[in-house]
A and B are shown apart, each in its own frame.
Chain A
Amino acid sequence: MTAGIERPVWTRKHLLTINELSREEILFLLDTAESFKEVSTRSVKKVPALRGRVVVLMFFEDSTRTRMSFELAAQRLSADAIDFAEKVSSTKKGETLLDTARNIEAMGVDIMVLRHPAAGAAEHLARAVNCCVVNAGDGQHAHPTQALLDLFTIREHKGRIEGLNVAIVGDILHSRVARSDIRGLQKLGARVTLVGPPTLVSRDFEAMGARVTHDFESILPEMDVISMLRIQKERMTASGFPSVREYVHFYGMNRERLRRCRPDVLIMHPGPVNRGIELAADVADGPSSSILRQVTNGLAVRMAVLFLCQQAAAGGEHAP
């Protein structure tokens, strides 16, 4: 039982963005997640890999599934997961966050999972503490584990990612999921098309190497994967947003549009779904939809993230 001689692929103790990951690192993480998927199918859904480790969930923004997914992932690795939830006053966010984090770290925490409304909060935190930091969404900046679980789900379905045509539809402008997905998909060789009203999907996104269109109908037949973003209803009243009826008419995925897609098209959604707005109920529950599989895979991917970051930290000098 000797350790591998080859240089380890994963040496990061933090996961902050998809941008910083190489293609090899992403694939290694997805392969590791594959092994963790099996754990959830057992009668004893637990492995002792992180026994004695403490994972703290610091969510400064509402989230149900991401927090639960991380909590369950930690528990399945036998780590202790504790919850830290507090609404911070927006005026002293930065200061409060680091102060809080240092206090928590002093209690002997190994991994911090952070969801924060400010872009760059995770990176800021990673520079201030010695433990591992995993970004669970920071402002409109990044949501790397969502991108990884999307990649995992696409690969599981299609057997590959390279060469696929993937559309991301909706409010790209305000979406950290979209930003992370675009980068991840491009790194693995997919062609990304961004779809939505001009105010939410500007031509500026072409600088990221993606194709931009405002005509959803025209691209339907060529897509292998279509990911529908959630429309945040609280934003609908802001300027730049079409009315709900208008949005559904031009950019909602429904049975008629699905009929114009390839028969093997994969319809994705990061959840929670606004049924009848971006996604019609019968499509969300239909055979083309991978929504629940994305949730299942999210658990395996987050187990892999916690495990690999912790292993890299344990490796000491290898960690960046």
Chain B
Amino acid sequence: MTLLLDRDELHETLEKLARAIAGAAPRDVPVAVVGIRRRGETLARRLLPLLERAGLKAAHYGVLDITLYRDDLTTIGPNAILRGTEIDFDLTDTWVVLVDDVLYTGRSVRAALDALMDLGRPRAIRLAVLVDRGLRELPIQPDFVGLRTDTEPHHIVKVKLTEVDGQDEVELYDRRD
């Protein structure tokens, strides 16, 4: 196991991410921060006060469950557990920051984009991720990245967050170990 980010580094990275988003956000369009369940959701909620400190007050916060949009639904079988989408505002004409913990193949983001489009017509969607580990299978790139790191397919990047996992850190495992 390699430690990619410890607790303090993770916090710094999030602040950096928030500053980058706040700097790029339009001033005349309502901003919606939407996290992908589950860790993207937690990260999105944490970003809200950080964004505010960086001068951006988000108008909306929402949570996206992409289970029903996954392209591997037929193979994951009964492991698919729905936790529900909670977006109780109109996405139309908002500037959406889509938040996820790890960007890998790009398939989750593809599913999330489809899910968002079914809910409304945002002015724009931007992608913010804590870790970009490369190895994309779809032409999808992030707009805001906390940490970029090269990995191999046999690696596992595990983002741990206090609210879900009891501690804050990012680890890299080797599946072969």
Contact = CB atoms under 8 A, between A and B. Distances in A.
Interface residues of A, number: 29
Contact of B74 (A3, A4, A34, A314): A314
A294 to B, nearest CB: 21
B23 interface: no
Interface stretch (B26-34, B48-56, B81-89, B161-169): B81-89
Contacts of B120: 43
Interface of A: 1, 3-4, 8-11, 31-32, 34-36, 38, 42-44, 46-49, 77, 307-308, 311-312, 314-316, 318
Interface in B71-92: 73-86
A85 B83 CA distance: 36
A49 B111 CA distance: 11
Contacts of B86: 38
Given A1-B107, A48-B69, A34 B84 contact: yes
A35 B78 contact: no
Is the contact region of chain B dominated by helix, strand, or loop, or is it mixed? helix
What 5 A-B pairs come out closest when comparing CB atoms? A315-B77, A8-B78, A35-B84, A35-B82, A3-B79
A34 B86 CA distance: 11
Contact of B118 (A4, A46, A311, A318): A46
Contacts of B83: 35
Contacts of B118: 42, 44, 46-47
Nearest to B67: A49
Given A11-B78, A35-B84, A311 B73 contact: yes
Nearest to A33: B82
Contact of A49 (B68, B78, B84): B68
Contacts of A314: 73-77
Is the contact region of chain A dominated by helix, strand, or loop, or is it mixed? loop
A48 B118 CA distance: 10
B78 A47 contact: no
A310 to B, nearest CB: 9
Contacts of A4: 79, 81
Which of B73, B82, B86 has the most A CB atoms < 10 Å from its CB?
B82
B1 interface: no
B114 interface: yes
Nearest to B65: A35
Contacts of A318: 77-78
23 contacts: A1-B104, A1-B107, A3-B80, A8-B77, A8-B78, A8-B81, A9-B78, A35-B82, A35-B84, A38-B86, A42-B118, A44-B119, A48-B114, A49-B69, A49-B73, A307-B82, A311-B73, A311-B76, A311-B80, A312-B77, A314-B74, A314-B76, A315-B77
B141 interface: no
B36 to A, nearest CB: 9
B76 A3 contact: yes
Which of A3, A10, A77 has the most B CB atoms < 10 Å from its CB?
A3
Contacts of A8: 77-79, 81
B108 interface: yes
Contacts of A316: 77
A49 B68 CA distance: 5
A17 to B, nearest CB: 20
Nearest to B74: A314
Contact of A38 (B67, B76, B84, B104): B84
